[in-house]
Structure 1
Amino acid sequence: MLYDKLLKEAAALSIDVSERNLLPTTHGLYADNTIWINKRLSTRVEKSCILAEELGHHHTSAGDITDQSDVRNRKQELLARQWAHHKMIPLERLVDAHNAQVKGRYEMAEFLGVTEEFLQAAIDRYLEKYGLYIILNEQYAIKLEPLGVVEIFQA
């Protein structure tokens, strides 16, 4: 379902998305308003995570960044990945998972429609950005390590 939603978003941005047989180590590519997703990816969930990151490149990257030995290119790669994390797992969705009584990372990844690896990368990034805790809308405290959500009650 998320994959279809992201495909519609790409179409609205006039980005062509094509599934092709890419090298096994290449999951996706973005260039000139075209995204290629590796046809060999086994699930739509994996494809969603890759499509989100490639859309992130559309929104955040400029030029050819394939040479990852250049620190500027690695920074652009990180920005695209961060964009994808915020797109696929906004903090409010962690609260939604808590309210749905989701337990464990496997169930949470399934609830959010992402891979466990993508979920962990997003949590790691949120940890770097916010530290151990995030207060969301003065209603929830999200603890990132270990992952948990607590509702804040006003006296």
Structure 2
Amino acid sequence: MLTFPRTIALVGATPRLSPVVADTTAQLRSGEAGKISKRIGKIQRRFPQVLVQVVMHRFPEEHPFPMHAFWLFNAGAFAGEGKRGKNNFALMIAIDPYRKEAAIVPGYGLEPLLKEEALYHLLEMSGPAFQSRKWELGLEVLLDGLEQLLDTVSVTEEEGVATGGDY
């Protein structure tokens, strides 16, 4: 069974990452990270509990990509040390341009709301742009879909319940 401590033993230290958009691969052209950060800022203003982190990083080939995404999300503590478990509303988008793989990892607070099928759909929508190495376009498509998905599952103060629907 894969656990966080076991994963740390396998992959080692966490890379140094910039907040919001971290590109350790230097794939984003000048200005693209800023545009993506602004788009994420718009989402976070609409949904203040949600914290979005984009990571473009080259992960070692010897371990499966989903394991790396799981490890980095937990090691990165993007929501902050005080927001763990059901209070973790962070969402990480991990992209490895060399492995040609991407993942969306929601925090435990978002997992019941964001169904795995919907997250796969967001990756499928952005896939053609990512395959063409158009990172900004792919992330725009993904973030637009994420914002729509968050709209469908957001909790209204009047109702006190999450709205739903298949994405």
- TM-score normalised by the chain length of structure 1: 0.31
Q: Which structure dedicates a bigger proportion of its chain to strand?
A: 1
Which protein has the larger Cα radius of gyration, Structure 1 or Structure 2? 1
- TM-score normalised by the chain length of structure 2: 0.29
Q: Which has the higher contact order (CA 8 A, sep 6+)?
A: 2
